[in-house]
Amino acid sequence: WATCRPTCSRNHLVHCTRAHAQHCCRRMSCAAPLQVGYVSPDLFTHSVSYFAEAPLSRHSRSRVQLYVYSCVGKPDVKTVRLRQQVAANGGVWRDVGRLPEHQLAQLIRQDGIDILVELTGHTANNRLAVCAMRAAPVQVTWIGYPNSTGLDAVDYRLTDAICDPVDTKQTFTEELVRLPGCFLCYTPAPEAPPVAPLPAAANGFVTFGSFNNLAKITPQVLTLWGRILNSVPASRLVLKAKPFSCPTARHHVMAQLAAAGVAAWRVDLLPLTAGTGEHLSVYGLMDISLDSFPYAGGDAHCCYGV
């Protein structure tokens, strides 16, 4: 936000509503930094947290006064680390998970937030109702949901020209702000293990794999993956997802792979592991990662460096 501020009066404000333009102009006329708030229930060991860590810890203190409204239900070590990083950067961390929407909106107004960034969209435990109450003069959606919020009160959506091409026919209630390059910035987990040796070198066969959310792995995806395995003799497939602790879910996926001509001995279905370090070490089992479509992986693919 701070880097956009010098050109705001020329190019950006022409697209704002009059009220937003007046607010931005008033803020730009004073020397005080912009008050930027982030609201999210996912500031724990959650995919969103790995993309939120950089902005929460890297804002310029001379240009931005940072506020974080954490709606986390069960804080963990990642929550503690993020809170410490925000404090070290001069920011304010507020635990607001128990506040109802109208009280949270009022708190954000009392804090004098200029730009409110919600990181959830239409995913679990979102606080979109706070945005609907116009808690801040300028409101933005980012990271957590690959589509429009559908709310007129959310002014902008941060994206890039790859995810949302300039000629896209998809409609949004928000104005799209296409960041240069990629709209995401991934921060690896500090407990990530060293990059593992290539499994095929020791195994003598190629192992394909995917740790995507099982909801993304449709019958069409499994059919294509079956064709890939059948074209590479002796290759194997390892999948890892939360539902694989359930026999019914395992049987459902194995049946689809069997219909695609993949023998059961070639497939390993793994449930969730206990911690981040252990989870990342499991990536060492695969040689080549397979992505889902049309909904591709996010955090799962950023982990493939291990």
| Segment 232-275, tens digit of pLDDT | 999 999 999 999 999 999 999 999 999 999 999 999 999 988 88
User: pLDDT value at position 125?
Assistant: 96
Which amino acid is present at 24? Answer: C
Of residues 259 and 29, the one with the higher pLDDT is: 259
| Segment 1-14, tens digit of pLDDT | 333 333 343 344 33
The 92-95 sheet, strands edge to edge: 92-95, 64-70, 34-40, 115-118, 138-141, 156-159, 175-178
Look at the block and give the residue holding tokens 């902005």. 55
Least confident among 2-6, 111-115, 190-194, 247-251: 2-6
User: pLDDT value at position 304?
Assistant: 52
Of residues 279 and 12, the one with the higher pLDDT is: 279
User: pLDDT value at position 295?
Assistant: 80
Question: What is the pTM for the complete model shown?
Answer: 0.82
User: pLDDT value at position 29?
Assistant: 57
User: pLDDT value at position 27?
Assistant: 59
Q: How many CB atoms within 10 Å of residue 192?
A: 16
